[in-house]
Amino acid sequence: MAAVARAHPNIALVKYWGKADDELIIPAAGSMSMTLDKFATTTSVALTSGSDTFELNGTTADAKATARTTAFLDLVRDLAAQAGLDTAQAGAQVVSSNEGPTAAGMASSASGFAALATAAATAFGVELSSRQLSRLARRGSGSASRSLIDRFAVWHAGTSDATSYAEPISAPDMAMVSVTVNATAKKVSSRDGMTATRDTSPYYQAWIDTTVTTLNEMLAACAAEDFTRIGQLTETHAHRMHAVINASHPPIRYLAPESWQIFEEVTAMRQMGLEAYATADAGPNVVIICRPDDAAAVAARVGAYGQINTFSPGPGAHLVDVA
């Protein structure tokens, strides 16, 4: 049995940064994101009688990435065993390719585990609802739970495996303009950075408390289709995340001087009436949100800082082939 799935990255407007349960990947607070329409990951999973293999972007993946893939496939084998399927004993040949940059703050782990969850569940013959697929993807990389969802997603933090999943929400149409100032892999992974922040940053509890409040405000702003409020909440929240991260010991810095220059440029855009707001994940690249009609003007203003990509809301993870 074999299946191929495709998934897109997502960029959070309300960020996930901190776990309540490291093994189950239950976050300490909920989050909210837009799924992108570019930079897809396409992953095929074919069952074999041997051990698991993992090829990423045309080459055999390193031992760490392969071990993480096998650990994830073990979860799928557990589900197959619970369903009484003999695929529970099978190995898998996983072949994955990213259309966007890998591990540089453009959420390749989100699209990667969303595509892997979708393809693997089908290849192993495990039937899962979209909520169950979101929960499964979460175990690979927390933010992957949101890449199952079309357009805009809220990930409910929950307090257990069963209650921590993403689902769709409606939000006004918007564009994202990403500025890739550095496409090489980041020095501190999200996983390590989150643990260090929780264990050493004195502002961690305040960050979690404010994220809970911001998510509620964001959901209200989305329901009211209030783009200005969504933008303001997004930008303030991103700065708070980088502040709590910066306060770790030893300090962690994901933003680069160019990132700060882009934040300045976005402030200047607003002062001249171009309504744009900026955010950044665990890396130096900046993502600017704006109304769809303003995307070309925003892109023109920041083109000098790096590679520009413009995104619309995109589709959740889906199967593209089953054999």
Task: List residues near ligand PMV by CB under 6 A.
Answer: 12, 15-17, 31, 109-110, 141-143, 190-191, 281-282
Q: At what angle do helices 204-223 and 190-200 cross, to 10 degrees?
A: 120
User: In the complex with ligand PMV, which residue's Cβ is closer, 90 or 222?
Assistant: 222
Alpha helices in the chain, H assignment, sequence order: 63-82, 108-123, 130-140, 190-200, 204-223, 227-246, 257-271, 295-302
Q: Report in angstroms how near the CB of residue 163 gets to ligand PMV at its nearest.
A: 18
Q: Report in angstroms how near the CB of residue 154 gets to ligand PMV at its nearest.
A: 11
User: In the complex with ligand PMV, which residue's Cβ is closer, 282 or 290?
Assistant: 282
User: In the complex with ligand PMV, which residue's Cβ is closer, 87 or 141?
Assistant: 141
Q: Report in angstroms how near the CB of residue 136 gets to ligand PMV at its nearest.
A: 14
User: In the complex with ligand PMV, which residue's Cβ is closer, 80 or 289?
Assistant: 289
Q: Report in angstroms how near the CB of residue 11 gets to ligand PMV at its nearest.
A: 7
d(CA 160, CA 292): 38
Query: Quick check: 86 and 70 in contact, CB under 8 A?
Result: no
Tell me which residue has tokens 């041997």. 50
Q: What is the 3-state secondary structure (H, E, C) of 225-271?
A: CCHHHHHHHHHHHHHHHHHHHHCCCCCCCCCCHHHHHHHHHHHHHHH
Kindly report the CA angle at 310 between 222 and 291, in degrees rounded to 5?
A: 35
Query: Quick check: 144 and 133 in contact, CB under 8 A?
Result: no
User: In the complex with ligand PMV, which residue's Cβ is closer, 123 or 194?
Assistant: 194
User: In the complex with ligand PMV, which residue's Cβ is closer, 221 or 287?
Assistant: 287
User: In the complex with ligand PMV, which residue's Cβ is closer, 3 or 110?
Assistant: 110
Q: Report in angstroms how near the CB of residue 293 gets to ligand PMV at its nearest.
A: 26
d(CA 242, CA 201): 11
Q: Report in angstroms how near the CB of residue 109 gets to ligand PMV at its nearest.
A: 5
User: In the complex with ligand PMV, which residue's Cβ is closer, 134 or 190?
Assistant: 190
Q: Which residue in 293, 273, 250, 276 sits closest to 179, CA to CA?
A: 276
d(CA 258, CA 133): 37
Q: Which residue in 166, 137, 135 sits closest to 149, CA to CA?
A: 166
Q: Report in angstroms how near the CB of residue 202 gets to ligand PMV at its nearest.
A: 20
Q: Report in angstroms how near the CB of residue 302 gets to ligand PMV at its nearest.
A: 20
d(CA 109, CA 104): 10
Single-letter residue type at 218: M
